[in-house]
Amino acid sequence: MSTNRFDDETLMAYADGELDAETSAEVAAAIGGDPMLAARISAFTRSRILAKRAFEEAVPPVPDALRAAIEARIAAMAAPVPEPVPDLVTAPEPPAEARGGTGVGAPGVVSLEAARQRRRGLSAFAPIAMAASIAAVVAGGLGWYAGGSGGIGATAPGADMIALGAGPAITEVLGAAASGADTALPGGGRVRVVATFEDAEQRLCREFEYGRGDTGVIAVACRQQAAWQVVFAAAGPTTEGDFVPASGMEALDAYLSGIGAGTPLEPGAEKAALSR
């Protein structure tokens, strides 16, 4: 029986155990009299095993706390929204320069979300879009991001744009620029530091944005052993006048919640933390 009777797609399905019973029986019967066919199936089987092993080693399970935060956010978005009640008095918006603080309710205390809203309007996502973006992040293995080693852009999906485009230059910005600074990079592109905070493990982290052309990356980097390591990155097309991929904001919020991101540091505390 000729090896060419079965195409590669059929043999890959056989190796994966996903072929229908009738065709599977035909392949099994043909293997004994066709060494070339047996060799093809053996190659597909080895490839499947190696790919499965590599994926399992590279991507550990998503942390329970992060998964819970993601599920809670999806549930909140799916809940019905009550009709808004008009305010009789509208509080004035805080000045754009206000940032940081020392506790909830203290003057100048600003959340990460509030810091972002000064530069863009609220994102409106349907629950299904939220679920899709979160699923993509979970599939990437957020635990791997935080546990990776190496320089900036070494592990996080979307961070390859950062590493290839301006890794060393962004590292320099993260180590010195104040939050709110918008810096043009040598060779093109811009980076904007959004906020500086500590996570639940007391790592110093910075949320930042990098844009070049019509594509942008919103990311988080944490300082580990005196080096900045990207722990989250989401890339996508940008809107005119900005370089932030809006599709990544909800996933970023869930990630920050999962790592226990603290209140953004006030300017003085931020400067001191960066100098340590």
pTM greater than 0.75 (yes/no):
no
Model pLDDT, residue 106 = 41
**Are 51 and 136 in the same domain?**
no
Q: What is the pLDDT of residue 34?
A: 81
Q: Where residue 180 falls among pLDDT bands split at 50, 70, 90? A: very high
User: Tell me: the pLDDT tens digits for 121-130?
Assistant: 333 333 433 4
* pLDDT band with cut points at 50, 70 and 90 for residue 177: very high
- Pair 233, 206: CB distance under 8 Å: no
* 90: in domain: no
Measured distance CA(94)–CA(110) in Å, rounded: 10
What are 148-174's pLDDT values in tens digits?
333 343 334 444 445 444 467 888 899
Higher pLDDT, 86 or 165: 86
Q: How many CB atoms lie within 10 A of CB 200?
A: 11
Q: Are residues 36 and 130 in the same domain?
A: no
Instruction: Check whether residue 33 and residue 156 sit in a common domain.
Output: no
89: in domain? no
Q: Is 74 found in the same domain as 36?
A: no
Instruction: Kindly state whether residue 237 falls inside one of the protein's structural domains.
Output: yes
Are 139 and 209 part of one and the same domain? yes
For every residue of the chain, which 3-state class applies, written as one string? CCHHHCCHHHHHHHHHCCCCHHHHHHHHHHHCCCHHHHHHHHHHHHHHHHHHHHHHHHCCCCCHHHHHHHHHHHHHHHCCCCCCCCCCCCCCCCCCCCCCCCCCCCCCCCCHHHHHHCCCCCCCCCHHHHHHHHHHHHHHCHHHHHHCCCCCCCCCCCCHHHHHHHHHHHHHHHHHCCCCCEEECCCCCEEEEEEEEECCCCCEEEEEEEEECCEEEEEEEEEECCEEEEEEEEEEECCCCCCCCHHHHHHHHHHHHHCCCCCCCCHHHHHHHHHC
pLDDT band at 113; cut points 50, 70, 90 = low
Report yes or no on 141 lying in a domain. yes
Task: Kindly tell me if the per-residue pLDDT of 270 is higher than 90.
Answer: yes
Say if 97 falls within a structural domain. Answer: no
The predicted-structure confidence for 204-251, as pLDDT tens digits, reads as follows 999 998 887 777 788 888 998 888 888 888 776 666 555 555 556 777
Q: Quick check: is 96 in a domain?
A: no
Residues 135 and 239 in one domain: yes
Domain identity same for 157 and 39: no
Residues 144 and 165 both lie in one domain: yes
* Residue 264 forms part of a structural domain: yes
| pLDDT the model gives residue 63 | 63
For the chain, the domain total comes to: 2
Do 20 and 146 reside in the same domain of the chain? no
128 lies in the same domain as 261: yes
What are residue 235's DSSP bridge partners?
217
Same domain for 141 and 18: no
Q: What angle do CA 177, 179, 183 make, to 5 degrees?
A: 50
Tracing tokens 């982290």 back to the chain, one arrives at 205
User: Is 133 within a domain?
Assistant: yes
Are 154 and 198 part of one and the same domain? Answer: yes
What type of residue sits at position 54?
A
Measured distance CA(272)–CA(114) in Å, rounded: 23
Residue 266 has pLDDT above 90, yes or no: yes
pLDDT at 144: 27
Determine the residue type at 32. Answer: G
Rounded-to-integer distance, Cα 162 and Cα 207, Å? 14
Domain around 14? 3-58
